[in-house]
Amino acid sequence: MAAILTSLRNTIIAGFILSLVPFYLYYSGGYAHPEFAKFLLRWLHVLSGVMWIGILWYFNFVQIPNMPNIPDDQKPAIGKVIAPAALWWFRWGAMATLLTGLILAHLNGYLADAMSLGLNLKEPALAITLIGIGMWLGIIMFINVWFVIWPAQQKALGMVEADADEKAACARRAMLFSRTNTLLSIPMLFCMVGAQNLYGG
């Protein structure tokens, strides 16, 4: 067991293998439902979202508030090692979340309706409106990650050449947009979960 848990790769592989148990139970019971492929895509969407929002909240609840408390001689470890690694999973988690979400909406036939917030429908559909609001909030957050936070962090962390003033400005910009995404993540998650549970979307 220690050989599994002391290796992140082995831990993740074991997690996916363990997931095959309920998968086997599902199929062995004769429940070969045609919607199961969509469920798997939704599962990947949730896994990706946990990675993305989990790291977003790590930055905002743990790293940013505690940076002033870290001695100056220890801060390079954060900027040179931990932050770049976290940002890699952060931005690609955002990419995977967006793509799986859009594909899932398309396969379920509500992509266009959700993107228009249900305004194109003859009858009101609150589930579609909710999921649409959640999708637009997620898209705004994705844009912030890839086109504001990541470019700013590259300069702030010294991955891209910049003078001291520009680094400081970029660090502040990245923080503010990361904080904006934290704000948006709360109603975004409410809309996503609400569409599924309050209105059965």
pLDDT score at 29: 60
In 3D, which of 133, 131, 52 has the Cα closest to residue 96? 52
pLDDT digit string, tens, across residues 29-78: 655 666 778 888 999 999 999 999 999 999 999 999 999 999 989 989 98
Give the SS3 label for residue 124: coil
Q: Read off the DSSP letter of residue 161.
A: -
pTM metric for this prediction: 0.89
> How many angstroms separate the CA atoms of 4 and 9, rounded?
8
Q: Which amino acid is at 108?
A: N
Structure tokens at 70: 């870290």
Among 38, 44, 68, which residue's Cα sits nearest to residue 175? 68
Per-residue pLDDT tens digits for 73-128: 998 998 899 999 999 999 999 999 999 999 999 999 999 999 999 888 877 788 89
The pLDDT tens digits for 141-171 are 999 999 999 999 999 999 999 999 999 999 9
